[in-house]
């Protein structure tokens, strides 16, 4: 079986499984899963940059928030339809990632981490500064009436879950295709040995910029979808926590694998969900598990599986 066929089969199976999950799981968990799918899109976007290109950003909350506020504010103040608002959200994310990519890629390594972190903090403060429109920390609710798309009421569990799944599937196949493309393979080359890639004649800087734009736009799509499906936009989504979360999802699930981000998101989401039932110090448990995983499975869960199944994309 060729690499490409295996990849299509694997990803189709994952999506089929997610379809079945909606009908099998109790409502509480299928509701969680809708949220997880959107966050997994965020993590997949992050993975393009971190897992495949080897660039560690600490500022992805900025891209998530760009999509979220692009969509939220255009519904709130322009009465835009959800479709139009989604497009505005995406355009916002593209523009922001172009600018950030252009500026931040002048640095490398630790400096890149710090610069992206600073830009994201600036974004967070901007949201607070324009509190008159964004309502700052408190955020604003997107009314149910403004959340129906193609006749589906996205505040209802069924349409909401499948809208999340459609977005997730599009992104999953996009990434699966990307990593098998020339472009994706070049990103891996840059991750592995940037100097060598340059001396083979690849325009490293241009490739990195495109990677930031793809990564930022996908993260923005997740932010926009989150606001649309769950009806809320608030400054907490622009805060540093939302820059760290996708990094954790990807590390846990397996950086540089297509399904790692989903696995990591499910794992992390339920780790917090379950441990918070038992103790208020749930982040302590989460932290402990994270330490154990990085000690014993430094390549994440999908990375462990890949040791057995080397073809895992």
Partner 1 sequence: MSIISTRGLSKHYSGLRAVNDVDFDLPEGQVRALIGPNGAGKTTFVGMLSGRIKSTSGSVSFLDTDVTELPAHKRMSMGMAYTFQITSVFANLSVHENVALAARRAIKGPAPVVNDKVMAVLEQVYLADRTGQIAGDLSYGHQRLLEIGMGLAQSPKLFILDEPTQGLSAAEVDGFIQLVKVLSENTTILLIEHNMDVVMQTAHYITVLNFGETLAEGTPEEIKSNAEVQTAYLGST
Q: Of 187, 172, 179, give the one whose Cα is nearest residue 262.
A: 172
* Least distance in angstroms from the C-beta of 204 to partner 1: 7
Burial of 88 (0-12, 13-18, 19+ CB in 10 A): buried
How many residues make up the chain in this entry?
313
Does the CA dihedral 154-234-41-259 come out positive or negative? negative
Q: What is the dihedral of CA 66, 136, 122, 252, to 10 degrees?
A: -60
Ramachandran class of 153: left when φ > 0, alpha when ψ lies in -120 to 50, beta otherwise: beta
Write out the binding residues for partner 1, residues 192-231 only, by CB under 8 A. 192-193, 195-204
Token look-up 């429109």 returns 133
Residue 40 and residue 18: Cα distance in Å, rounded?
A: 13
* Least distance in angstroms from the C-beta of 210 to partner 1: 15
Count residues contacting partner 1 (CB under 8 A)? Answer: 17
* Least distance in angstroms from the C-beta of 109 to partner 1: 18
* Least distance in angstroms from the C-beta of 206 to partner 1: 9
* Least distance in angstroms from the C-beta of 196 to partner 1: 5
Q: Looking at beta carbons only, is 52 or 237 nearer to partner 1?
A: 52
- Residue 109 touching partner 1 (CB under 8 A): no
Q: Looking at beta carbons only, is 159 or 184 nearer to partner 1?
A: 184
Q: Looking at beta carbons only, is 149 or 188 nearer to partner 1?
A: 188
Q: Looking at beta carbons only, is 144 or 185 nearer to partner 1?
A: 185
User: Which of the 8 DSSP states describes residue 142?
Assistant: P
Q: Looking at beta carbons only, is 153 or 192 nearer to partner 1?
A: 192
Q: Is 152 helix (H, G, I), strand (E, B) or coil?
A: strand
Residue 251 and residue 173: Cα distance in Å, rounded?
A: 21
Write out the binding residues for partner 1, residues 160-199 only, by CB under 8 A. 182, 185-186, 188-189, 192-193, 195-199
Q: Looking at beta carbons only, is 51 or 223 nearer to partner 1?
A: 51
Interacting residues with partner 1 (CB under 8 A): 182, 185-186, 188-189, 192-193, 195-204
């Amino acid at each position: 079986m060729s690499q490409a066929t295996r990849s299509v089969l694997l990803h189709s199976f994952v999506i089929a499984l997610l379809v079945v999950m909606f009908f099998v799981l109790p409502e509480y968990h299928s509701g969680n899963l809708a949220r997880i799918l959107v966050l997994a899109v965020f993590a997949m976007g992050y993975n393009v940059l971190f897992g495949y290109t080897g660039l560690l950003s600490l500022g992805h909350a900025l891209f998530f928030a760009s999509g979220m506020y692009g969509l939220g504010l255009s519904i709130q103040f322009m009465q835009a339809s959800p479709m139009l608002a989604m497009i505005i959200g995406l355009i916002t994310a593209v523009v922001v990632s172009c600018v950030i990519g252009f500026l931040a890629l002048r640095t490398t390594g630790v400096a890149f981490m710090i610069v992206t972190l600073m830009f994201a903090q600036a974004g967070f403060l901007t949201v607070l500064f324009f509190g008159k429109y964004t309502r700052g920390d408190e955020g604003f609710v997107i009314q149910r009436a403004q959340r129906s798309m193609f006749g589906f009421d996205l505040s209802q569990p069924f349409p909401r879950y499948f809208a999340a799944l459609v977005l997730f599937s599009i992104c999953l196949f996009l990434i699966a295709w990307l990593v098998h493309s020339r472009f994706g393979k070049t990103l891996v080359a840059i991750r592995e040995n940037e100097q060598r890639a340059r001396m083979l004649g690849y325009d490293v800087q241009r490739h990195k910029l495109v990677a930031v734009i793809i990564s930022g736009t996908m993260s923005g799509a997740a932010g926009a979808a989150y606001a649309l499906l769950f009806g809320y936009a608030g400054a907490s989504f622009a805060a540093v926590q939302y820059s760290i979360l996708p990094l954790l999802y990807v590390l846990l699930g397996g950086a540089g694998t297509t399904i790692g981000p989903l696995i990591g998101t499910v794992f992390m989401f339920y780790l917090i969900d379950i441990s918070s039932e038992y103790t208020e110090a749930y982040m302590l448990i989460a932290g402990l598990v994270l330490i154990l995983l990085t000690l014993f499975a430094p390549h994440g869960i999908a990375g462990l599986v890949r040791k057995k199944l080397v073809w895992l994309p």
